[in-house]
Structure 1
Amino acid sequence: MIAMATLSPYIYSADARKQADFYVSVFGGEITSIQSYGDLPGMEESKKHLIMHLELQALGLRFFMADAGIEANDRGTGMDLALTFKDEEEARTIYDGLAIDGDVIMLFERMFWGTMLGRVRDRYGVMWQVATET
């Protein structure tokens, strides 16, 4: 038997709502669910505004997000989120949107194997690879 699963990025943030709004502006889609710590009984007043779980539907994908709170938000360097598009113009639009106030790591250019590929660290420190199909 082969197991089947769905992989969804879960992004911890200093301000999940603001970051999710940025992704909606870049990807389109919508925030479909938000739960705050204020939904929990007995939560202290100072933490009630924090996002416990947010769900964003965009690009046919599901992204989860939450406020990191007082925990360090170190992204490390061991993982990128990779988005692959059939349409080069759509890929370039997404790449350019993610690069706004971010850091371009690799320009969105044609690779020797034929696809377009670019790498960017968005304004929230998330690493993205944006590519086209072969």
Structure 2
Amino acid sequence: MTDTLEAQAPALPKTKGTVVPYLTVDGASKAAAFYIKAFGAEEAFRYPEDENGRTMHIHLYINGGSVMLSDGYPDQGHPALPPQGFQVQLILESGIEALFQRALDAGAEVVTPVQKMFWGDTWGQVRDPFGVTWGMNQRAQA
């Protein structure tokens, strides 16, 4: 039986990075579309929606790393709770103003405007329509 299941399983894409954010949101398909528009994400893989319109797994590449997401499955002990106590950080070499504006144009809201910070980098934060806070940090040029 295991051989049959393994034969039917799709080939999964390469995971980029060794620490990968896995976001549980209300509306994973809509969130993935937002991340494509706002951050230039590339969709690497997705399981199709179930009969209730929920998506169990989406794998994206954003800014050179993997980000994974799904809808909540409270019936399986995996509720979609509002994001809190964390942010996803995008480390940039350049282009922070353009990416920040792209996220705003896609529907994000400003948490902290882009500004030069005391540690020397340029940094700002947006909150996406799904409640996730995204920090953007452009390293100071040496």
Q: Report the TM range for the smaller structure's normalisation.
A: 0.7 to 0.9
Q: How many residues align?
A: 119
CA distance in 2, matches of 1:33, 1:52: 11
Q: Would the aligned equivalents of 2:25 and 2:80 in 1 still touch at CA under 8 Å?
A: no
In the aligned structure 1, how far is the partner of 2:80 from the partner of 2:61? Answer: 26
Cα pair 1:108 1:117 within 8 Å, conserved? yes
TM-score of the two chains, using structure 2 as the length reference: 0.74
Question: How has the CA–CA distance of structure 1 residues 16 and 72 changed in structure 2, closer, same or farther, with 3 Å as cutoff?
Answer: closer
Q: Residue 81 of structure 2 corresponds to which residue in structure 1?
A: 73
Kept in 2: contact 1:14–1:69 (CA 8 A): no
Find the residue that maps to 2:99 and give its secondary structure: helix
Which protein is richer in strand relative to its size? 1
Give the 3-state SS of the residue equivalent to 2:56 in structure 1: strand
Query: Structure 1 CA distance, aligned partners of 2:90 and 2:123?
Result: 10
- Percentage of pairs with the same residue: 26
Aligned-residue offset at 1:61 = 0.8
**Relative to structure 2, which stretch is displaced further, 123-132 or 110-119?**
110-119
Counterpart of 1:19, as a letter, is A
Q: CA deviation at 1:37?
A: 5.8
Checking the alignment, whether the CA contact within 8 Å between 1:85 and 1:91 is kept in structure 2 is yes
C-alpha separation between the residues in 1 aligned to 2:49 and 2:27? 14
Q: Does 1:113 align with 2:119?
A: yes
Contact 1:13–1:68 (8 Å) recurs in 2: yes
Counterpart amino acid of residue 55 in structure 1: H
- Tell whether 2:109 aligns with 1:94: no
Q: Name the counterpart of 1:53.
A: 57
Alignment partners' CA distance in 2, 1:13 and 1:74:
8
4+ residue segments displaced more than 4 Å: none
Alignment TM-score, normalising by the size of structure 1: 0.77
Q: Provide structure 1 residue ranges, at least 5 long, that are not aligned to the other structure.
A: 39-45
Q: What do you get for the CA RMSD once the two structures are aligned? A: 1.9
